[in-house]
Structure formats: C-alpha cells, structure tokens
Amino acid sequence: MGALDSLLDASVVFSFDRSGFRRHARRFVASDLQVSLAGKVVLVTGANSGLGFAASKALAALGATVHLLCRDEARGRAALEAIRGQLPSAQLHLHRLDVSRLADVRRFVEGFHGPVDVLVNNAGVLPDTLTRTDEGHEVTFATNVLGPHALTKALLPKLLVAKGRVVTVTSGGMFTQKLELDVLQGNVQAFDGVVAYAQTKRAEVILSELWAVKQPDVTFSTMHPGWADTPAVRSSLPTFYKWTKGILRTPEEGADTVVWLAAAPRLDGKSGLLWFDREAVSTHPLSFTKESEADREALWALVESATGG
Ligand SMILES: NC(=O)c1ccc[n+]([C@@H]2O[C@H](COP(=O)([O-])OP(=O)(O)OC[C@H]3O[C@@H](n4cnc5c(N)ncnc54)[C@H](OP(=O)(O)O)[C@@H]3O)[C@@H](O)[C@H]2O)c1
C-alpha cells in the first residue's frame, strides 16, 4: 500500500466512502468471484432491503439457491419479485422471520429442511428510543445480537455438515466502543441509540471470534461495509445522511465483501476475522476499546443464557 493510500485510509471518510471502495477495489482479484454457487444454499436475513437485497441478488446471480429471510411478507415478496425480474432463473425462496424474536427464530429453524452452506446475518436496526421486545430484550440487542446468535446456533448442525460459512454484517461504528454488557442490554439511565447500536456491533465481532474457536469446521467472518446509501442510513441517521449522501457507497458496493466472504474459494481456513473491502482488518484500531478475556466470556455466557443455551 502506498503512502497516499495509507493517508486516505487513516482519514476514515475517504476509506468508508465510495472513493474508498473504488480505490480498494483496484486490488480485488477478479477470479475470486468467477465461481459458480450452483447447488449451494445461502440464507440471508433482512434480505428485502439495502445490503441484504444487494447480497441476495449477487449470490443468486452466482447460481446459489438463496433463501430470503424477511420480517414482512409483502416487502419480502416485492424483493423476491425484483430479483426474479432481473434474474429469471434465480433460485429464490421467501421465509418470514423476525430475528428479534427468539420464538420466531425457533419456529423458522424447526420448519426449515435441507442443507445450509452459508448464513448471512445481515438484518440490523438502530432505533433512537429504548424499546423492549415482547420477550423482554432491548430491540437493538435482540435484533443485532441475540437473534443472529440463536439462528447461528440452531443452524449449526447443517452448517457443520456443509463445512459452511457464517457472515455477519457489523459496522465501523463499533471501532469506538469497548464492550459494556449493561449498555449492550439497554440497562442504562439515558439511552443513546448510536452507542447501543455500536455496542451490538462490537458484540457481533467478539461472538464471531468465539464461534471460530469453538467450531473450527465452520468459517465465521464479520465484515463492515463502510458507508452505503440504504434506507437504514436515511431513516436512522438523517443528519449523517444529509452531509454524506453525495459520497456514500451503493448498496452493491457495501455488500461486496459479504458476497466475497460467502463465495470466494480462497477464504478457506481463515475464520474469526473482521473484513473490510475484502481485506482482514484490525478489530481494535483504538487500543482503549480492547475488552478483557473475562468480558468476552461474560458476553458468551450472557447470550447463551438469554437465548436459552
Ligand atoms: N448502510 C450502511 O452504511 C451500514 C453501515 C454499517 C453497517 N450496516 C449494517 O448493514 C446491515 C444492513 O443494513 P442496511 O444498511 O442494508 O439497512 P436496511 O436497508 O434498512 O436493511 C435492514 C434490513 O434488516 C431488516 N430487519 C430489521 N429488523 C429486522 C428483524 N427484527 N427481523 C428481520 N429483519 C429485520 C429490515 O427489514 P424491514 O425492511 O422489514 O425493516 C431490512 O431488510 C445492518 O446490520 C446494518 O447495521 C450498514
């Protein structure tokens, strides 16, 4: 990497934005995605919108059978039809799944028959007020952490058979956060949605690292997409969107590393890493954010207990 690239990457803005993607894309290896995923089964949560939609479409274009897991039947159906409109022979299936509800995760997995090669934990939220699900969990925590953990765990037997992959979409927002379990669960005096979100994204990365150690036959990856123009950014971060809308990545650019992590053959053997634009990156560019081993174990115990492990 040249000095100018290092400087631009250190700026964050010119790394997370679309100029960063296009600069990083110069080092991509085109043959990585010249693969056929025919016969592979991929599940994508939050597949009806933004990055999940873009990833689902790209994976279907590579020949995968893609299961769109969406919380709203009509939005899911519209997404499926939109992909089919562009890819008439795409192998697509729609399932209703609200990942924030553990009972719904159980219902979905019990009714899902057949193999799973790749699970993409993409669905995510950034609410600005503290709300709890009917199961009693703060909504950001339930959607971004507990549901994906329960889904990963329940699908593990299938993923083990396939020596499959789990790709979880985190966020660069987590770089500023040190794990704090009380904040993560919404046990706070004053709720800050951006902090709560970043805590869940930090937790996703730690859990993926822990999964990688516990289950070496499955490849666990997290990726952050930089800044992409999606409905979530427009509605959850309106001020940020106002200032950055001219430089945001497209959803396809934001989802590129998801597709690469799901499909690229040369990933085999690399598990538990955080990726950005197809490169493994540090999970702690700011050293004060490093959690202790005890905190990591406490996080695992917390999610196991909350998901009925
Ligand atoms: N865009 C960015 O710049 C950016 C940056 C960092 C990280 N991310 C991450 O990227 C992922 C995708 O976000 P996006 O930007 O593509 O936003 P998006 O377009 O709003 O997509 C979010 C998806 O998640 C779904 N979802 C939310 N709660 C759900 C639940 N309880 N059960 C099932 N699905 C649920 C949404 O469904 P509905 O349509 O029904 O609401 C939607 O399909 C998220 O994890 C987000 O944190 C995005």
**Local confidence band at 249 (pLDDT 50, 70, 90 cut-offs):** very high
Q: Would you say residue 309 has pLDDT above 90?
A: no
Q: According to the model, what pLDDT value does residue 2 have?
A: 86
pLDDT tens digits, 104-137:
999 999 999 999 999 999 999 999 999 999 999 9
Nearest-CA residue for ligand 1 atom 1 is 228
Chain-centroid distance, C-alpha 61: 20
Active-site annotation holder among 197, 211, 220, 275: 197
Residue pLDDT, tens place only, 3-24: 999 999 999 999 999 999 999 9
Cβ neighbors of 212 (< 8 A, separation 6 or more) are 219, 220, 271, 272
Element (H or E) spanning 189, and its range? Answer: none
* 52 CA from centroid of ligand 1 (Å): 7
Place of tokens 């945001």: 248
Q: CA 271 to CA 218: how far, in whole Å?
A: 8
Q: Of 42, 32, 69, nearest to 162 (Cα)?
A: 42
Pocket of ligand 1 (CB under 6 A): 45-46, 48-52, 71-72, 75, 97-100, 122-125, 143, 169, 171, 224-225, 227-228, 230-233, 254
Please report the atom of ligand 1 found closest to the CA of residue 227: 3
pLDDT tens track for 50-59: 999 999 999 9
- Is the whole model's pTM more than 0.75, yes or no? yes
Per the annotation, the verdict on 197 as an active-site residue is yes
Instruction: Please compute the mean of the pLDDT values over residues 90-107 and round it to a whole number.
Output: 98
Kind and range of the H or E element at 255?
helix 251-263
Ligand 1 atom at shortest distance from the alpha carbon of 123: 24
What pLDDT is stored for residue 159 in this prediction? 98
Question: What are the structural domains of the chain?
Answer: 36-306 (3.40.50.720)
User: In the predicted model, is pLDDT for residue 300 greater than 90?
Assistant: yes
What pLDDT, on the 0 to 100 scale, is given for residue 19?
97
CA of 4 to the centre of ligand 1 (A): 33
How large is the average pLDDT for residues 206-214? 98
Residue whose CA lies nearest to ligand 1 atom number 36: 46
Q: Phi/psi at 121 (nearest 5 deg)? A: -85, 90
C-alpha to C-alpha distances, 197 to 5, 174, 192, nearest whole angstrom: 29, 8, 9
124 CA to centre of ligand 1 in angstroms: 4
Please give the distance, rounded to the nearest whole angstrom, from the Cα atom of residue 80 to the centre of ligand 1.
Answer: 16
Indicate which residue's Cα is closest to atom 44 of ligand 1: 124
- Work out the pLDDT band at 1, boundaries 50, 70, 90: confident
Tokens 């709300």 — which residue? Answer: 131
**Quick one: pLDDT at residue 266?**
78
Percent of the chain exceeding pLDDT 70 equals: 99
For a ligand 1 pocket test, name from 169, 201, 250 the mutation site with the most ligand atoms within 8 angstroms of its C-beta: 169
H/E element holding 85? Answer: helix 73-86
Q: How far apart are CA 263 and CA 162, in angstroms?
A: 14
Separation of alpha carbons 262 and 107, rounded Å: 25
Tell me the three state secondary structure of residue 166: strand
- DSSP symbols for 2-43: -HHHHHHHHTSHHHHSHHHHHHHGGG--GGGG----TT-EEE
* Cα–Cα distances in angstroms (integers) from residue 227 to residues 14, 141, 253, in the given order: 10, 21, 9
Look at residues 139, 84, 95 and name the one whose alpha carbon lies nearest to residue 119: 95
DSSP 90-102: -EEEEEE--TT-H
Residue 280 to residue 274: CA distance in whole angstroms: 6
Sign of dihedral through CA atoms 309, 291, 184, 197? negative
Q: By three-state DSSP, how is residue 196 classified?
A: helix
